[in-house]
Amino acid sequence: MQARPSSHYPTHTQISSFLSGFLSPTSHDLPFHYHHPLHPLYNPSNNPVRHLVLALHPSITTYHLLSQPHTAAFLHRPFSLNRRRIRRGNLVLASHTAFDAALTVGYNIHLASHLGLDVERGESRCVQGYKGDAERKIGIVGLLDRPESVVVMLGRVRGEFGGEGELFLPPVSGRNVVADAKIEAETAVVDQQAQGLSDRQIKVLAIMNAFHAEEVRRVIDVSVEARWTAAESAGKEILYLTGAARPYGLEAAAAHDMSAFCVGHLACEKWGIRFLADRMREEFPGLDVQEIYEEEEIK
């Protein structure tokens, strides 16, 4: 790691290097250095950053902060950015595709670790290949440290996503059982007469950014091939965590007796921003880090 400048503030180079470590650049993504000083004497290794803004998109507060000196920003969707509203000398970093892939639901090893997967031990598999792209990583499937009930996993997932999302359990007696995420995890999440579904033990967690019958089948195949679950009971012991609640995905999960938690697209993105903000505060204690979750400002 480079030495900190004497001002104890990180430089443009240090901010860029640290953030890029969590994102795997792709040829289809935005330029990571989305907006940077064009002065011929600009040296990113000598430009200190006192304030860092992390946001999904440009907003009123984002522009206000970027009008202040020694400010940098990270944006997930910078498409409407008005560069004229950025103070000269400030930096804007951006990531769309890589951020979605690594810091929402999908192949997110950080979220997986938070939810009880031991990625370092090798008890997880990458689900790779989607829509004709054999290299695209769309998820991670792994064995939990120990089996947990649906109720415990609901509380754990809700804790990561600020209470957002819904838990969908398989049909019981011809009806769908839905556990609303607003219900406290310590209480019964479904009708206690629903054949003990709330007591089912989850052994395997799948974190996926696609939710079709094919992906549900692939998750089961991974779990069975790794010998984490038996073929005849694999679905019952898997929790499928994803973004949007797709009807065809829910039907496929129900057909395999699998529980699914759909957190919603926006909540997934907010998780990524919070994660980066926490890491930046840990790495650069003297840096003022602000998370902005306002409506987009398009001007």
Summarised one tens digit per residue, pLDDT across range 19-63 is 999 997 777 889 999 999 999 899 999 999 999 999 999 999 999
Buried b (16+ CB within 10 A) or exposed e, 111-140: bbeebbbeeeeebbbebeebeeeeebbbbb
For the residues 121-129, what does the mean pLDDT come to?
A: 91
**CA dihedral defined by 15, 17, 18, 24, rounded to 10 degrees?**
130
Please report where in the chains the tokens 């009880």 appear, as a residue.
Answer: 116
- 131 with 208, same domain: the answer is yes
Question: 217 near 192, Cβ under 8 Å?
Answer: no
Average pLDDT of the segment spanning 97-109: 95
Residue whose entry in the numeric block shows the structure tokens 């989607």: 130
Q: Are 48 and 136 in the same domain?
A: no
Asked whether residue 142 falls in the same domain as residue 253, the answer is yes
> Would you say residue 189 has pLDDT above 90?
no
Domain presence at residue 101: no
Structural domain including 274 reads 12-96+269-292
Contact at 8 Å (CB) between 124 and 112?
Answer: yes
120 and 62 fall within a common domain = no
Q: Would you say residue 135 has pLDDT above 80?
A: yes
In a domain, 298, yes or no: no
Given a cut of 60, whether residue 137 has pLDDT beyond it is: yes
Three-class DSSP category at 92: strand
Q: Which of 265, 264, 269, 259 is nearest to 291 (CA)?
A: 269
- In three-state secondary structure terms, 100 is helix
Q: Identify the pLDDT of residue 24.
A: 78
Average pLDDT score over residue span 275-297: 97
Which residue, among 149, 182, 188, 153, has the nearest Cα to 166 in the 3D structure? Answer: 182
pLDDT given for residue 118 in this prediction: 86
pLDDT tier for residue 119 given thresholds of 50, 70 and 90: confident
Does one domain contain both 276 and 209?
no
In a domain, 6, yes or no: no
- For residue 196, what pLDDT is reported? 52
* The total number of structural domains that make up the chain: 2
In this structure, what CATH number is given to the domain that contains residue 177? 3.40.1390.30
Is 187 or 136 the better-scoring residue by pLDDT?
A: 136
Closest CA to 94 of 50, 43, 29, 48: 29
- Nearest by Cα to 239 from 120, 133, 158, 131: 158
pLDDT of res. 132? 86
Residue 45 shares a structural domain with residue 81: yes
Single pTM value for the model? 0.89
Q: Verify that 84 and 114 share a domain, yes or no.
A: no
pLDDT confidence band for 120 (50 / 70 / 90): confident
* CA gap 181, 161 in Å, rounded: 10
Q: How many helices (H) and strands (E) does the chain have?
A: 8, 12
Instruction: For residues 220 and 299, give the distance between their C-alpha atoms in angstroms, rounded to a whole number.
Output: 47
Judgement on whether residues 89 and 117 belong to the same structural domain of the protein = no
**Residues 79, 298: contact at Cβ < 8 Å?**
no
Convert the pLDDT of each residue in 239-285 to its tens digit: 999 999 999 999 999 999 999 999 999 999 999 999 999 999 999 99
CB of 42 closer than 8 Å to CB of 20: no
Question: Cα dist. 200→7, 153, 190, 243, 283 in Å?
Answer: 55, 11, 12, 23, 40
Selected residue with higher pLDDT from 50 and 177: 50
Res 4 pLDDT > 90: no
35 and 149 assigned to the same domain: no
Does the structure show a pLDDT above 50 at 2? no
pLDDT of residue 183: 38
Tell me what pLDDT residue 181 has. Answer: 38
**3 belongs to a structural domain:** no
Position 133 confidence tier, pLDDT thresholds 50, 70, 90: confident
Give the mean pLDDT of the chain.
Answer: 89
Q: Is 196 within the bounds of a domain?
A: yes
Which has the minimum average pLDDT: 1-10, 235-244, 288-297? 1-10
